[in-house]
């Protein structure tokens, strides 16, 4: 019997995703289960005999757990991570084609496959050493800042995602492009940009699929650029996604393993963490291949 530790954000999801309901679903699937709430001190302790961590929450909860796993290097080599997506965007769960039906997902673990997943390593940024989803400059940090300041209550996750897209569109209309000194694997790609996003998965923020071919296990990162000349195209993309719900704009995307960035600004984000840097800070990003092991559905697409 596989020993599962359920790490749960009890404020995510609804009554169908309570501690008792989730633990019962795990036990019914034939697993031995321990429980920890991210709202209770001590949740970071991972017992040595744990074989699988079930992460029940949104993308932020996944990042918190991954951070703890990475601190225990010996444990990280063999530990499996399973996502039970209960958040608003659930970009990580969607990357792995994980069902929002937690009972179905837990049952699928018995025949699932293991996917080795890379992380991006970050140098010269205080309090941030890695990212799992994306790291970027420009529009997205301002979107995060504005959404936090508004603190608006939405009726549903879908309405919140639409609200974020509207805010991002409004920011774009007044945002001035910035110069970015950008080097990818030794080649210069510097220029004026509205956004530079280094991505490990397909989507970030309000389910924006900026890198549809991204594979978080291929040993490379996707660098998504929105240059000064593409303001109108990006605005059209946002409006199209708001009205049609699908992506229509193909972004200028490069792949790389070693990325150097100096952004003419101060705001950045690493996954859902927003911070400020001194202006003209040189940031270096590299890839740590196969740093994590996720358990994913057997029919998960080849490109992750």
The predicted structure's pLDDT at residue 14: 78
The predicted structure's pLDDT at residue 163: 94
User: 252 lies in a domain?
Assistant: yes
The predicted structure's pLDDT at residue 151: 82
Instruction: Output the domain CATH number for residue 281.
Output: 2.60.200.40
Report pTM: 0.93
Full residue range of the structural domain in which residue 18 is found: 3-111
The predicted structure's pLDDT at residue 250: 83
Closest CA relative to residue 219, chosen from 256, 259, 271: 256
**92: Cβ–Cβ under 8 A, 6 or more apart, which residues?**
59, 62, 83, 85, 132, 133, 201
**81: Cβ–Cβ under 8 A, 6 or more apart, which residues?**
52, 53, 55, 62, 65, 66, 69, 292, 293, 294, 295
User: 294 lies in a domain?
Assistant: no
The predicted structure's pLDDT at residue 303: 43
Q: Are 232 and 139 members of one domain?
A: yes
In sequence order, the β-bridge partners of residue 43 are: none
Q: Are 170 and 280 members of one domain?
A: yes
The predicted structure's pLDDT at residue 248: 66
Instruction: Output the domain CATH number for residue 66.
Output: 3.40.50.10330
User: 228 lies in a domain?
Assistant: yes
* Phi and psi, residue 113, nearest 5°: -115, 165
Query: E-assigned strands of the chain?
Result: 3-8, 32-37, 52-57, 80-85, 113-123, 130-131, 134-138, 178-184, 187-188, 191-199, 203-204, 208-209, 221-227, 252-256, 258-263, 267-270, 273-276, 282-296
Q: Is 66 helix (H, G, I), strand (E, B) or coil?
A: helix
Q: What parts of the chain have a pLDDT lower than 70?
A: 1, 74, 76, 247-248, 300-304
Burial-class residue 298 by CB neighbours within 10 Å (0-12, 13-18, 19+). Answer: exposed
Instruction: Give me the number of domains the chain comprises.
Output: 2
Q: What is the pLDDT of residues 180-225, one digit of tens each?
A: 999 999 999 999 999 999 999 999 999 999 999 999 999 999 999 9
């Amino acid at each position: 019997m596989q020993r599962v530790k359920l790490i749960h954000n009890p404020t995510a999801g609804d009554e169908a995703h309570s501690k008792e309901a989730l633990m019962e679903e795990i036990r019914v699937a034939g697993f031995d289960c321990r429980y920890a709430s991210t709202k209770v001190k001590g949740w970071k302790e991972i017992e040595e005999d744990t074989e699988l961590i079930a992460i029940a929450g949104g993308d932020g909860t996944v990042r918190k757990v991954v951070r703890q796993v990475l601190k225990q290097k010996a444990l990280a080599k063999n530990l499996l991570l399973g996502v039970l997506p209960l958040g608003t965007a659930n970009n990580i769960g969607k990357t792995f084609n994980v069902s929002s039906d937690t009972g179905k997902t837990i049952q699928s673990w018995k025949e699932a496959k293991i996917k080795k997943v890379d992380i991006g390593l970050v140098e010269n940024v205080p309090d941030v050493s890695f990212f799992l989803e994306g790291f970027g400059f420009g529009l997205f940090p301002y979107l995060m800042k504005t959404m936090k300041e508004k603190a608006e209550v939405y009726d549903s996750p879908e309405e919140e995602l639409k609200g974020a897209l509207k805010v991002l569109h409004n920011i774009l209309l007044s945002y001035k492009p910035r110069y970015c000194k950008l080097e990818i694997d030794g080649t210069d790609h510097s220029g004026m940009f509205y956004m530079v996003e280094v991505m490990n998965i397909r989507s970030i923020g309000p389910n924006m699929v900026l890198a549809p071919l991204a594979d978080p296990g291929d040993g490379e990162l996707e660098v998504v650029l929105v240059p000064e000349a593409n303001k109108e195209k990006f605005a059209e993309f946002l409006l199209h996604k708001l009205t049609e719900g699908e992506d229509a704009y193909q972004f200028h995307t490069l792949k790389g393993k070693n990325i150097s960035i100096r952004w003419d600004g101060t705001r950045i984000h690493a996954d859902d963490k927003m911070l400020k840097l001194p202006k003209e800070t040189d940031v270096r990003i590299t890839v740590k291949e196969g740093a994590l092991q996720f358990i994913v559905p057997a029919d998960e697409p080849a490109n992750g």
